A and B are shown apart, each in its own frame.
Chain A
């Protein structure tokens, strides 16, 4: 069965500090990997994707993600967190024509 795991329900970080939101996956084949962000009462918004190539992917709003094939991980990172980054973050994989999402990590950036 395909699965995406986000081991932390909640991540708190001080403003200006680096942040990491973790994601691991277990799917067959070579999946496409994504991060999406959800603000309150809104739909999900695309942040970045990895399909092939460089293991470090840069995306919107200064976010980046590191793909590690041996650990089947795709962690989201940002060098310096902003209060406005506080939101719900979802990791997702696409294999074949189907998408699988993690359970989400709530990020709170403390001023």
Chain B
């Protein structure tokens, strides 16, 4: 089944404790991206990647890192999480040029 898989589904952590949210897709998509969803703000793009080893900042990249060492994986790294990063996070992917994004089920992150 074609899908984008995010883990974990829920995560509670404390300020400053490094964490990684994983994202994997099995559709051989070139384009992958991360978003955060906050009430009243909609979805905002954090980072995107056009292909392996090619990443770029989206609208709200501060406090986040990403890597794209393999085509299928695009982890989101919070090296020193803060409470203002409490949010619902989505990973998405697409074929470059097709423009239709496939979304994961989301990761609800709470930073205490």
Q: What 0/1 readout, one digit per residue, does chain A (76-104) give for beta carbons within 8 Å of chain B? A: 00000000000000101010011111111
Q: A46-B100, A101-B45 are in contact. List 9 more A-B contacts (CB 8 A).
A: A36-B103, A41-B105, A49-B100, A90-B42, A98-B58, A99-B45, A101-B42, A101-B43, A101-B44
Considering only CB atoms and an 8 Å cut-off, how many residues of chain A contact the other chain? 24
Query: Which residue in B56, B58, B100, B106 is a CB contact (below 8 Å) of A43?
Result: B106
**Shortest CB distance A80–B (Å):** 25
| Secondary structure class of chain A's binding surface, majority of residues | strand
Interface residues of A (CB under 8 A from B): 4, 6, 32, 34, 36, 41-46, 49, 51, 90, 92, 94, 97-104
Q: Say whether, besides A43-B4, A98-B45, A51 and B106 are in contact (CB < 8 Å).
A: no
Residues of B within 8 A of A99 (CB): 33, 35, 45, 48, 58, 101
Q: What 0/1 readout, one digit per residue, does chain B (96-111) give for beta carbons within 8 Å of chain A? A: 0001111111100000
